[in-house]
Structure 1
Amino acid sequence: MIHDIKEYVNYLDGVHKRTMQYVKAIPNELLDWKPSEDKFSTGDLLRHIASSRLMFLGIFEHGSWTYTGHDTDKGASLEDISKYLEACQIKLTEGLLKVGNDKLTKRVLTMHGHEVSEWRILMAIPEHEIHHRGQISTYLQMNKIEPPQIFGLKIEQVKKL
């Protein structure tokens, strides 16, 4: 269970910084690329991560699930998408800090109508982002681009026993 929102926000900022390392590895020409017509493009995934941050914040501020979408009006270029990601991260973290620790013991409805502790929703935020960052890693590799190593080393570089 999460007991301190400031500590959580620091953790979330780390997840965000690692995602932004992936953004730096994406060439502009890959923004519209998608593995098939019915899947998100690389740009869609990035805008979706950003917009989802606002959706999650809405749960804590208003008790409602609202998704603003991931259309190109939220950023058509890598530079604009990066700005949108940063702005949404700032809004999320500032909003969570305003909400404070008192909300951590409250309950909220999931999208499916089940009641859960709000700290469980907090756990879903990085899980959601990391899931989509994994998709971006796959997209990069499918296009012969080496994704960043999130902790600086490949597994082959770790000392074996």
Structure 2
Amino acid sequence: MEITTISTFLPYYDKIRERTKRLLAVVPPDSLDWAYKPSKFTIGDEIRHIAAIERYMFAETIAGRLSIYRGCGKDLADGYGPVMEYFDRLHEESMTIFRALSDEDLQRKCTTPGNATMPVWKWMRAMVEHEIHHRAQLYIYLNMIDVKTPPMFGLSAEEVAAYSK
């Protein structure tokens, strides 16, 4: 899918973020430090990573600057309230950058941290895929600790099967 106008991308990306926020709303505050094994991202790391990479890698390079991503550790935000505030604040900073883009900017080339050059719209598409990837990881993590997670589009797979005849 080619992103051709910023006015159609922004509401689409808002919906992606709404689904992520619905999932974050069920994260137990006492589970932020849980990881499925040592040296892997914790639930809190995953949340901070989605926020930090969007703002400091994707938004910076989309704005024509170098990535300034420095990780996703507790030093950025620790505890449930601060982590969720960090997530929301960095997203709003990113959205300020994205709202300033013109349709023509979507065709402008940007350079990724891996030194690949591509149109901004493709990098924005990669940003969406990145968030979805980490949201899926959070679904798995939360299921591993027996947290009931919200269905993505209103119905669970079991409900879809029950309604399908």
- Give the TM-score band, short-chain normalised: over 0.9
- Structure 2: distance between partners of 1:124 and 1:104: 13
The C-alpha deviation readout for 1:56-93, integer Å capped at 9, x for no partner, is 11002133222032121322111111111111111111
Letter in 2 for 1:58: E
Q: CA deviation at 1:46?
A: 0.2
| Matching residue within 101, 120, 126 for 2:122 | 120
Q: Does the 8 Å CA contact 1:35/1:139 hold for their aligned counterparts?
A: yes
Task: Determine whether 1:102 maps to 2:104.
Answer: yes
The C-alpha deviation readout for 1:95-152, integer Å capped at 9, x for no partner, is 1111222211111223322221111100011110110111111111111112111211
Q: Percent of aligned positions with the same letter in both sequences?
A: 28
Q: TM-score, normalised by structure 2?
A: 0.91
Higher helix share: 1
Q: TM-score, normalised by structure 1?
A: 0.93
- Structure 1: distance between partners of 2:81 and 2:22: 13
CA RMSD in angstroms, aligned pairs only = 1.3
Q: Does the 8 Å CA contact 1:46/1:85 hold for their aligned counterparts?
A: yes
SS in 1 for 2:147: coil
User: Where in structure 1 are there 5+ consecutive unaligned residues?
Assistant: none
Give 1:1-161 correspondences, 5 Å limit. Answer: 1-54=2-55, 55-158=57-160, 159-161=163-165
Q: Does the 8 Å CA contact 2:62/2:123 hold for their aligned counterparts?
A: no
Q: CA deviation at 1:26?
A: 0.8
SS in 1 for 2:154: coil
Q: Does the 8 Å CA contact 1:56/1:65 hold for their aligned counterparts?
A: yes
Q: Which runs of 4+ in 1 moved over 4 A?
A: none
Q: Residues 106 and 62 (structure 1 numbering): CA distance in 2 closer, same or farther, change over 3 Å? A: closer
